[in-house]
Structures are given as C-alpha cells and as structure tokens.
Amino acid sequence: MGSGFSRICREIFEYDTPHIVHIKSLKIGVACRIIQLLIFAYIIGYVIVYKKGYQNHDIPAGTITTKIKGTAYTNITTASGVPLYRRLWDVSDYVIPPEEHDSVFVMTNMLISPHQKQGKCPEDPTMPGVICKHDKDCPPGEAVYTGNGVRTGQCVQYNTTLKTCEIHAWCPIENDDDRPMKQPVIDEARYFTLLIKSTVRFDKFNLRRRNLVENSSVDYLKNCTYNASHPLYKFCPIFRIGDMLEVAEPRVGWSDIATKGGILGVVIDWQCNLDYTLDSCLPAYKFRRLDDPYATLARGYNFRYADYYFVNGTMFRQQTKAYGIRFEIQITGDGGKFDLYYLILNIASGIALLAVSTVICDIAVLYLHSKREYYYNKKYKQVDVVKTGYEDFDSSSNSNHQRPLETNSTVYNRGVLNN
C-alpha cells in the first residue's frame, strides 16, 4: 500500500528540466536557419514595416453633413393625359426627408396619386382575394392587408369586364398603369451635385481633420467637382451624381437605378501616417451599390409619402410613390503614429516566435527522421533518486554515468550528437 502511494507521489511530483542536445546535421541545421529567417522576415518585413508595427493606431470617428444642389423642369403628362408632371423641381421637392443621419435620399422618379379623399371605391384587381361575383365574396369590415383599404361588403364594377370588392380607402386608389413613362421623371438629376462635409477625429492623438482641403480657396470649393484621376479635384467634396455612378464598383447604369431606385454606399476612407505632415492626411472616396441590381423580386428602392390639404372643409391628400437613390455615407480608416512601446512589444513578440523553429525541428527529428529512435533516447532521459544517495542519469547507461547526489542542485546534461 505504502509503495503504491509512493509511486503515485513520484509520478505526480516530478520535475522537468531542459536537456540541451547539439545535433550536428547539415539538413536539420539548414532547415532550422531557414525557418528562423522566415520568422525574422515576417516580423521585420510584414509586422514592423508593412503593418507599421512601430506605431500606435487609432480608428477615426466623426460627423457627416450633406447638401444637394440642382433644379430641373419636366413637361410630362400621365397616360390619362393629365399634365401632372409639368413643373419645376428643386431641392425642397426631391430631397426627402430634408435631413437624415449619415445618409440622403434624392427622388429621381415617382408615381403621383392626386386629389385623394377618404371614401368608397373598387379595390385594385391585382390585390389577392378581391375579385368577386357576389356581395358575399366581400366580408364587410375585413381589411385587404396587402391592398388599399377595408371591405365594405359590396361587390362593385371595376371596369366593363371585372368586378372587385368595394373598400373604404383614400380614393381614387393608386394606379400603376398611369405612370408617365418608363424612364425616370427627373432625368436631369444625374447632373445634380452632392456636397459631403465630414469632420473626423483621432482621439488618441488629439487630432481633428476635415475632408475640405485646408489650404484651398473659396473659389476652389465653388468651382471644383470630384474627379478621381485629377491630382487636385480628387479631394473635392462635391460630387456629381452621374459621376459617382460611373466610378462605382460595379459600375451602375443611370437609367436602371434612377427608374427603380437603389442604394449607393459612399465610403470616406482616412489612411493617415501621422509621422509625416498633416497635409498628407487626406481622405479617399469609394463608391459601391449596396442593393442587388439583379434581383428578380422587389428590385430597387421606393417608399410612399403624402401631402395633406383641405378644400371647403374636406381633407384631401396627394400621395407620391417615390423612387430614387439613397446615399449611405460611412467613415473608415486608420491613423498611426510612432510609439516606442509598440515597437518593443512587436520585437519581443517576434523573438518569442523564433522558438517555433525549435519546435518544428524537434518534430522533424523525433518523428520524421530515419534515426528518430536514436535521437529520442538522447533527448529524453529519466533521473531517479535512489536510497544510496546517487542519481542515475540514464537507466540504460553503466556506472560511469553516475555521480553523487548534490542537495539543491540543478540537473543539467549537455550532449553533442554527430549525424
């Protein structure tokens, strides 16, 4: 019982110490140095130089404001001959709502339903479950959830050949067949301009920057338009809508997005190396369509809004189904500045990573080499303390490998192997 407990204790309370073995092998030595060289190149070339591991980094945060400019005149009549779209359009008409957080919507196409008032009228036959033959087909008080109103209980004539359920609704209901044309109503919107004003800050470095070129004049801002290939105008914060679609990735066709609507992402990217002058800390602009232009169902972007008014005490409204381009603006980037702490930290991490070369070479020698058993026996030794006061450094060795036990001493064995 006692000997068993003693064995368990010896298994638990054992101590491992490094055992250095020099292996004089050209292949393994070259492999080890190559691995160390690769690790060294990774630390210096990638971490320190390419990723600027000698810098402290900060992500910019900031604010965005927008302003649209442009006017257009349209002379278009509806399919029924009403000159509903014969009018002038300015910013107050096509920017809806007037102000949003980090985004702006420009209406380029619309379907207007004028002079609606609350009353009774036949439901649109394209809505599910509204085509009828008798009044019993239209349960009163039941809403047409995907339609325009609530059933009255009457089945009425929609046209000369078709009957639909009568509904309480804003009448006359919206009629998609009365669209003015298949092209965008405000086709001139491609020439409208969008001004984006952005202020970013790098809190770690107590630094603020604007996307307006600091040394530019008032005339520059009045006359410039963004041009990615121009050395000066590529920093201009005024963008022509059509130009943004041209340089977007992938390229966006004007007719498609202006007719059906869509969402365009605008990225203001700040990549600033603050070890140089602040004049080099300037933004780059990227554009990308965010919605799916190839969707077969519910493609595009649209919403409805209404303007209300009273005539002789009766409330009327004009409902507009608005199609257009929604610009989603985002700030990204990185700011870096030299910091001795991060340089030392990355160098120390690289030095520690050099130990990986030893691990890889050990695996190759102990498990893959043709003399792996020989190397294994030389690398790993067991030292047992015996009652005679001696330590046996190798149970397979003769008495010449024994020495007297020294109290509080460190066991250290250094061997050289020739291959």
| DSSP letters for 159-180 | SSS-EEEEEEEEESPP-GGG-S
The pLDDT of residue 411: 39
Q: Which three-class secondary structure state does DSSP give residue 271?
A: strand
Phi and psi, residue 35, nearest 5°: -65, -45
Q: pTM, whole model, 2 decimals?
A: 0.77
The pLDDT of residue 407: 36
The pLDDT of residue 416: 47
The pLDDT of residue 419: 53
CA–CA dist 73, 357 (Å, integer): 73
Q: What is the DSSP letter of 245?
A: H
Instruction: Please report, for residues 75, 307, 350, 354, 356, the alpha-carbon distance to residue 347 in angstroms, rounded to integers and kept in the order given.
Output: 70, 66, 5, 11, 15
Give the mean pLDDT per block of 10 residues along the chain (419 residues): 69 72 80 88 91 92 94 83 86 93 94 93 92 94 92 94 95 79 87 95 92 78 88 90 92 90 95 87 93 88 95 95 95 93 91 85 81 77 56 44 39 46
The pair of structure tokens assigned to 127 is 């809505």
Name, in order, each residue with C-beta under 8 angstroms of 377's C-beta and a sequence gap of 6 or more: 396
In the chain, the N- to C-terminal Cα span, in Å, equals 47
| Residues facing 87 on adjacent strands | 74
The pair of structure tokens assigned to 355 is 């130990």
The pLDDT of residue 180: 59
Q: Could you count the other beta carbons within 10 Å of the beta carbon of residue 91?
A: 14
The b/e string for 294-316 (b: 16+ C-beta within 10 A; e otherwise) is eeeeeebbbeeeeeeeeeeeeeb
The b/e string for 252-278 (b: 16+ C-beta within 10 A; e otherwise) is bebeebbbbbbbbbbbbebebebeeee
The pLDDT of residue 236: 92
